Structure 1
């Protein structure tokens, strides 16, 4: 069900991606980003990108990359998106667990999420259940369309 993402997969996932960035509730991506820029960001710049496919439908995706370069290149970074129609079914957990295994296979020793919007309580709770700690809070880092300025968290997990 989880496999490497192809260009065709991204085209199929684009409506979900676009909906998520237009909502401006979880990702600090330009809501006016076009499909090609989104593809570059999600699939070309990272080391790897994966999809969760069920009944020939792309229901979720994640990218995996180094969080930094040089002496800190042993820490990975991921971003996850789940179709609104597939939420609450454990897909984010499956993608995160898959990403941790992939990170270890690629030689990473830790994973860091640089900006988890504090109002995204479902994600914050899941990441904590999966062993991530909040190691920092960035006050008023995110302009939420309904809540105004909210904090973002830096979350971290040692994988080995």
Structure 2
């Protein structure tokens, strides 16, 4: 698979929403409510400046998406955050890594001092492994903060990448 990352367009939303809906409704990695309408989901996912949303495409097929921007406004705006979705049909083929590398490069280029992920489900082993391989570390875990459909109450990791280090 040859994945390219580009800015998301309005025309990409139907494809993104299809896997957004299946991932969110599965209840294993996102705390968003199940059964969101397309417009409700769009308002959560499609970022407005200073944030941005990108898609990963294989040919003309949208296979993933990421949204990114400042983690907090004002005095917290020097730290970025991001969220990621990979179409289940495209998982395990480098889409998440391509999106993650894109976000890290974007944050560096934009002058952020770090990237903080606020809620990585501890049982999401592929994501935790990917973020660690990109240099993120778990700086804390909120015990039992996520209600997983199979594992019950599991922790949410706060993960951080310091961009001030070479």
2:112 to 108, 113, 116: 108
Cα deviations by residue, 1:44-101 (Å, 9 ceiling, x for unpaired): 3461000011121100000011101222211000000001111111111111110111
1:65 to 69, 81, 99: 69
Moved over 6 A (4+): none
Say whether 1:123 aligns with 2:127: yes
Unmatched 5+ residue regions in structure 2?
A: none
In structure 2, distance between residues paired with 1:159 and 1:35: 35
Cα deviations by residue, 1:105-149 (Å, 9 ceiling, x for unpaired): 222121000010000011111111111010011000000011110
Q: Which moved more, 1:46-55 or 1:81-90?
A: 46-55
In structure 2, distance between residues paired with 1:55 and 1:111: 29
TM-score normalised by length of structure 2: 0.92
In structure 1, distance between residues paired with 2:82 and 2:5: 15
Q: CA RMSD in A?
A: 1.1
TM-score normalised by length of structure 1: 0.96
Partner of 1:20: 23
2:59 to 52, 55, 59: 55
Say whether 1:99 aligns with 2:103: yes
In structure 2, distance between residues paired with 1:112 and 1:91: 20
Say whether 1:151 aligns with 2:155: yes
Aligned length: 160
